[in-house]
């Protein structure tokens, strides 16, 4: 899931951080710009970043990880899965 949800969150957070750092024209070095960041800024960016992660991103990541119960269950029209189960039971019974 890191490639989806967390990655998306990090991109949004870093964008806010870099925008903040670049907005201070009076600072001449990166080290001095970073000193302007405080805990309040970071907490705000975390909340804003999480709010910007789309529900569809989360849903798609869970779908890809097969953690969604609806996806993990075989559907009634999923004949290959049902056929495999029938074959397994036949082989086991033999």
Q: What is the pLDDT of residue 33?
A: 86
Distances (CA, A) of 47 to 1, 7, 8, 53, 70: 19, 15, 13, 10, 30
Q: What is the pLDDT of residue 25?
A: 81
DSSP letters spanning the chain: -IIIIIHHHHHHHHHHHHHHHHT-TT--SHHHHHHT--HHHHHHHHHHHHHHS-HHHHHHHHHHTT-SHHHHSPPTT-HHHHHHHHHHHHHHH-
Q: What is the pLDDT of residue 70?
A: 56
The domain segmentation of the chain, as residue ranges, is 2-93
Q: What is the pLDDT of residue 52?
A: 92
Pick the closest to residue 5 from 43, 59, 45 (CA basis): 59
Q: What is the pLDDT of residue 92?
A: 65
Q: What is the pTM of this model?
A: 0.63
The per-residue pLDDT string of the chain (94 residues; one tens digit each, 9 = 90 and over) reads 456 889 899 999 999 999 998 888 888 888 888 889 999 999 999 999 999 998 888 888 888 877 555 554 545 554 555 566 666 566 666 5
């Amino acid at each position: 899931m890191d490639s989806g949800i967390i990655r998306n969150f990090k991109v949004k957070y870093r964008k806010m951080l870099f925008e903040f750092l670049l907005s201070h024209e009076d600072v001449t070095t990166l080290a001095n710009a970073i000193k302007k960041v405080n805990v309040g800024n970071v907490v705000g960016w975390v909340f804003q970043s999480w709010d910007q992660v789309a529900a569809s991103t989360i849903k798609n990541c869970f779908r890809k990880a097969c953690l969604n119960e609806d996806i993990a269950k075989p559907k009634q029209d999923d004949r290959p899965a049902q056929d495999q189960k029938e074959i397994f039971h036949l082989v086991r019974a033999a």
